Structure 1
Amino acid sequence: MMLQIPAWLLTASEVLEWVSQLSVLVPLAIAWRRRTLFAPTVRVLFWYTYLSLFTSLALQIGRHLFHLNTPVQHLYTLLKTLLFGRMYYLALRRPWHRQLVYGLTLGFAGFAALDAFYLEGLTHFNSYGRAVQSLLLIGFAMLYFEQMLRELRVSRLEQDPLFLASVGLVIYSAGTGMLFVLINNFRESLSALTLAFDTVSLLNIAFNVLLTFAFLRAHPSEVEQSHQG
Structure 2
Amino acid sequence: MSTPESAKLIQLFYALSYLGQASILVPIVIGFQRRQRLAPASRIIFYCCLMWLVMMAFGEFARKFWHYNVVIWDAVDILEMWFIGVAYHRVLRFRLRRHFLPLGILYTAFALLDIFVLHGLMRSITYTIVLKSTLFVVLTLLYFEQILRELRNIRLEHDPMFVISVALLLYYAGTVVAIMMRGYFIDQDAILQSQIVYAVNSVLNLVMHGLIARGFWLAGRQPQLAVEPLTAATAQRPA
- Calculate the TM-score normalised by the size of structure 2: 0.87
Q: Aligned residues: percent identity? A: 31
In the alignment, is the contact (CA less than 8 A) between 1:38 and 1:220 conserved in 2? no
Paired amino acid for 2:190: S
* Cα pair 2:10 2:192 within 8 Å, conserved: no
Does structure 2 retain, via aligned residues, the 8 Å contact 1:141–1:166? yes
Corresponding residue pairs, total = 220
Partner residue of 1:18? 18
What is the identity, as a one-letter code, of the residue corresponding to 2:50?
Answer: Y
State the alpha-carbon separation in 1 of the partners of residues 179 and 2 from structure 2.
21
AA aligned opposite 1:87: A
Structure 2 segments unaligned to the other structure (5+ residues): 224-239
Gaps of 5+ in 1: 223-229
Measured in 1, the distance between the counterparts of 2:153 and 2:52 equals: 29
Is the contact between residue 115 and residue 125 of structure 2 (CA under 8 Å) also seen in structure 1? yes
Q: Show the 5 A alignment for 1:44-193.
A: 44-94=44-94, 96-187=95-186, 188-193=189-194
Q: How much has 1:220 moved relative to structure 2?
A: 7.2
Match of residue 226 from structure 1: none
TM-superposed deviation, 1:114:
0.9
How far the C-alpha of 1:3 sits from its partner, in A, is 8.0
Q: 1:86-140 CA distances to partner (integer Å, 9 max, x unpaired)?
A: 000011123x121244343222111111111111112211222111111010001
Larger Rg: 2
1:154 deviation in Å? 4.7
Contact 2:6–2:192 (8 Å) recurs in 1: no
Read off the aligned partner of 1:108 and give its amino acid letter: Y
> Which one-letter code corresponds to 1:198 in the other structure?
A
Q: Aligned residue for 2:215?
A: 214
Q: C-alpha separation between the residues in 2 aligned to 1:167 and 1:93? A: 19
Q: Which amino acid aligns with 1:170?
A: L
Query: Counterpart of 2:34?
Result: 34
TM-score (norm 1): 0.91
- Following the alignment from structure 1 to structure 2, what is the Cα–Cα distance between the partners of residues 137 and 148? 17
Greater displacement, 122-131 / 11-20? 122-131
